[in-house]
Amino acid sequence: MLTFVLAFALLLTVIVGMAVGVIFSGRTIKGSCGGLNAIADADHCLVCNKEIDPNSPLRERLACPRARKMLAEMEAQESGAS
């Protein structure tokens, strides 16, 4: 039982340390390339600004009204911030 408690305490310390590091670093957490960044009608990745493969199967799956609305809102935010 003592081994379990020590292992749990060590794991908890590591997790808390990582969380505090993210909080104090001041950087925002970014998504990966692809995924929701491959929304239909987007030419470049929103994270790394690379071109998105036009033959990506994600384009077809995400070509829905909700995805288009999200893209339009993001573009409106970008143009409003500039």
Structure confidence at residue 79 as a pLDDT band (50, 70, 90): confident
Taking 90 as the threshold, does the pLDDT of residue 78 lie above it? no
pTM: 0.38
What single string gives the DSSP state of each residue in the chain?
A: -HHHHHHHHHHHHHHHHHHHHHHHH-PPP---SSGGGG-TT--B-TTT-PBPPTT-HHHHHT-SHHHHHHHHHHHHHHHHH-
pLDDT tens profile 7-48:
999 999 999 999 998 888 887 766 666 565 555 556 666 666
Best-predicted range by mean pLDDT (1-5, 40-44, 46-50, 73-77): 1-5
Give the pLDDT score at 15: 96
Q: What does residue 44 show for φ and ψ, rounded to 5 degrees?
A: -130, 150
Residue 66 has pLDDT above 60, yes or no: yes
